[in-house]
Amino acid sequence: MLEQFKATIKQDFPDFNKYEIYVASSGGIDSMVLTSLLISVGYQPVILHCNFKLRAAASEADEKFVKDFAKANNCKVITTAFETEKIAANRKTNIQETARDLRYEWFRSIVKNHKSLILTAHHLDDAVESFFMNILRGTGIKGLSAIPKINPPFYRPLLQFSQEQITRYAQTNKITFREDQSNQKTIYRRNKLRHEIIPLFHDLEPEFTKKMKSFFSEMTDLNEWMDINKKSLIKKLIIQNENQTIIDIQKLKKLSTFELKLVVEDFNINRKKLTEFSAFLDSDTGAVFNSNSHQFLINRGQLIIKEQSKNFTIHETIDNLPYHLQTSFGVVDIKASDYSVITPKNNLLQLDFDKIKLPIRIRNWRHGDRITPLGMKGSKLISDILIDKKNSQFEKNKILVLESESGELIAIINFLISDDYKISSTTKRILEVK
């Protein structure tokens, strides 16, 4: 097993010795074998241990065991503790799910850079259990490969080994470990699979685990092939524009259901929502569809996609200059300066400061707002100006205006100024809005 372990690491990470190596250890047989293998091939990993405080004195004993092992083997150890039951109650999730989430949240907080790896002791039998768990949850093709070997920063070098091989290695090399009695309780779905269901498959087929290993290998190859073709498909469809994604709807509607799923799955459109989403593509301009993470807008034959963001409200009084405002989509800077020459820039507005009296206000535009655009005599609705400029609803939501203390609009930031505040031959000072 040791030689096979060495070969696996060399194949997966030829420059493994250049990585900062962490190993997740519960103190159980799997993680202790993994840690011992790493030490046997010449590495001194940093050992990570979570105390979930679920088994009273036994949890404390697990932590002490891991710390004593680390000290005896000159390894650094980092521990943390969680009030798992309380956190599960607050999150309204089950104990096992909560513990898993807490563990991985903590692991990710440890990683410092892309040259760090966190090794976990998942093995072939774990992959088989995860396969059935995924089936029960309702999985797609990706879930059929169960557990990925490499999912940066996580690396699982024991996935090719069975529980039997790991147990035999521990016995042969006299590796001590802690036994978690909760692993025997069949009140948990995974444990019920482990102790009652999966053994039935072994009774039916003695080489069940070996055949599942071959199946996982094929599914991994299939997923890699799908990822390559998915990237190629997305490259042909998607236009990336600042913080939003644009796709031609007609091209999207020509895709097969499977291809459509591949394109939109990264935007949290799952199989259950796919039919509803497909129908949405026939909607008129202005229609919006939401996933848990993204918003989709129909806009003149295009689908515009952006990350979900909270509605923002800006309504501030500007008493002094210079003024600086940081928003979720950019920065607004306003300052006064002596007038010399107009500097034309796309994101810069210049007004006659002598016609402006502080304080002024900066706020979100509202329906019904009117302004007299530069070069015009009469006023015009901002909503009409935005329609003329063919702004999408997403872009409209980011529009800010400047208004005088009396409520007269001075400028639409990043768009235009009011003709009443334009620079003239008598201008001495200017207001710059960038």
pLDDT per position as a tens digit, 21-44: 999 999 999 999 999 999 999 999
Instruction: Yes or no: say if 281 and 302 are a contact pair by the CB < 8 Å rule.
Output: no
Q: What CA–CA distance (Å, rounded) separates 331 from 400?
A: 11
The residue ranking higher by pLDDT, 43 or 310, is 43
Q: Would strands 370-371 and 349-352 be described as parallel, antiparallel, or unpaired?
A: unpaired
Q: How many angstroms separate the CA atoms of 30 and 121, rounded?
A: 6
| pLDDT above 90 (res 187) | no
Does 198 have pLDDT greater than 90? yes
As a whole-number percent, the residues of the chain with pLDDT over 90 amount to: 59
**Which two tokens mark 293?**
């993470």
Mean pLDDT, range 64-72, rounded to an integer: 96
| Least confident stretch, 96-110, 151-165, 381-395 | 381-395
Q: Report d(CA 364, CA 247) in Å as an integer.
A: 28
pLDDT of 97? 87
Q: How far apart are CA 343 and CA 346, in angstroms?
A: 10
Q: Which of 39-48, 147-156, 177-186, 378-387 has the lowest mean pLDDT?
A: 177-186
User: pLDDT at position 309, please?
Assistant: 63
- Which two three-digit tokens encode residue 426? 């008598």
Q: How confident is the model at residue 4 (pLDDT cuts 50, 70, 90)?
A: very high
Q: Annotate 289-333 with DSSP letters as a single string.
A: EE-SSEEEEEETTEEEEEE-------EEEE-SSSEEEEETTEEEE
How do 20-24 and 46-51 pair as beta strands?
A: parallel
Asked if 117 contacts 19 with a C-beta cutoff of 8 angstroms, the reply is yes
Give the chain's end-to-end CA distance (angstroms, integer).
65
Q: Determine contact, residues 260/296, Cβ cutoff 8 Å.
A: no
Strand partners, 409: 403
Residues 318-338: tens digit of each pLDDT: 999 999 988 777 789 999 988
Average pLDDT over every residue of 175-192: 78
Angle between helix 124-137 and 208-237 (nearest 10): 60
**Best CA proximity match to 146, nearest among 179, 124, 168:** 124
* CA 44 and chain centroid, separation: 31
Q: Is the peptide bond before 322 cis (omega within 30 degrees of 0)?
A: yes
- Predicted TM-score (pTM) of the model is 0.65
59 torsion bin: left (phi>0), alpha (psi -120 to 50), beta (else): alpha
Burial class (CB in 10 A: 0-12, 13-18, 19+), 387: exposed
**How much is the average pLDDT of 385-398?**
74
Cβ(223)–Cβ(139) below 8 Å: no
How far is CA 383 from its chain centroid?
35
283 CB neighbour count, 10 Å cutoff = 14
Pairing of strands 330-338, 429-433: antiparallel
Please give the Cα distance from 393 to 141 (Å, whole number): 36
Q: For residues 213 and 219, is the Cβ–Cβ distance under 8 A?
A: no
What does the pLDDT average to over 277-297? 89
Please give the distance of CA 102 from its chain centroid, rounded to a whole number. 16
Looking at the DSSP bridge assignments, the partners of residue 297 are 288, 304
Look at 373 and 313; give whichever has higher pLDDT.
373
Query: Per-residue pLDDT averaged across 414-426, rounded?
Result: 89
pLDDT category of residue 243 using cuts at 50, 70 and 90 = low
Q: Is the pLDDT of residue 366 over 70?
A: yes
Q: Where are the alpha helices (DSSP H) in 122-174?
A: 124-137, 141-144, 163-172
Rounded Cα gap, residues 162 and 141, in angstroms: 23
**Secondary structure letter of residue 196 according to DSSP:** I
Q: How far apart are CA 138 and CA 146, in angstroms?
A: 12
The tokens 């003149």 sit on which residue?
300
